[in-house]
Amino acid sequence: FDDLLRSYVSSKGVVDYNGFRKNKATLIDYIENSKKNSPTSSWSNNKEMAYWINLYNAFTILSIVEKYPIKSILDLEGGNIWDNKKFIVGGKSLSLNQIEKERLLQRFNEPNVHFAVNCAAASCPPLLNKAWTEDNIQAYFAKQAKAFINNSKYNKISADKIEVSQIFNWYAKD
């Protein structure tokens, strides 16, 4: 997955879905292998968080690649791919929202997850062009959060006005 991300996601998070489409079999192999090797109780919190973040991002990319070209992720699953599309992991059917909310936010109480999972909508934080790992997750959480917050495409702060991403409204509690 790391090789795919490095090949088809720019340092600014721009995704080359056509490139992913050309390597769809490799993406599917990664997902299938991940599904067969779901977290166990011996995994560290960082390893498990990295697993779910990578799987969420891979599922999102595959969902787009399967229907590519599309104008928006909102063109999929009646505009609500995050709840309507299901994936079987460890014998359980999970939506993208269930992965984000149950497997990540509820389990680990880590609000930086919002800067790590990429919903492929224009208002979402950019996709990291590297895979998340047990060893890099904490550093990348800080890097991604800072980059998103300081990116004027998503957040604008001036002497007269503050405009912030909808993410801060949607997940104000976090």
pLDDT at residue 122 in the model = 81
Question: Does pLDDT of 171 surpass 90?
Answer: no
**Overall average pLDDT of the 73-91 stretch:** 94
148-165 pLDDT, tens digit each = 999 999 999 899 999 998
DSSP string, the chain: -HHHHHHHB-TT--B-HHHHHHTHHHHHHHHHHHHHT---TTS-HHHHHHHHHHHHHHHHHHHHHHH-S-S-GGGSGGG-HHHH-EEEETTEEEEHHHIIIIIIIIHH--GGGGGTS---STTSPPPPSS---TTTHHHHHHHHHHHHHT-TTT-EE-SS-EE--THHHHTS--
**Overall average pLDDT of the 27-52 stretch:** 97
pLDDT at residue 124 in the model = 87
User: φ and ψ at 37, to 5 degrees?
Assistant: -125, 55
pLDDT at residue 142 in the model = 95
Give the strand pairing for 92-95 and 86-89.
Answer: antiparallel
Task: Calculate what percentage of the chain has a pLDDT beyond 90.
Answer: 89
120-141 pLDDT, tens digit each = 988 889 999 999 999 999 999 9
pLDDT at residue 28 in the model = 98
Question: Does pLDDT of 169 surpass 90?
Answer: no
Question: Does pLDDT of 166 surpass 90?
Answer: no
117 contacts 57 by C-beta, under 8 angstroms: yes
Q: From CA 123, how far away is CA 32, in angstroms rounded?
A: 29
**Overall average pLDDT of the 105-122 stretch:** 93
Question: Does pLDDT of 29 surpass 90?
Answer: yes
Question: Does pLDDT of 67 surpass 90?
Answer: yes
**Token pair for residue 24?**
């769809």
Q: From CA 9, how far away is CA 16, in angstroms rounded?
A: 6
pLDDT band at 113 (very low <50, low <70, confident <90, very high): very high
pLDDT at residue 40 in the model = 95
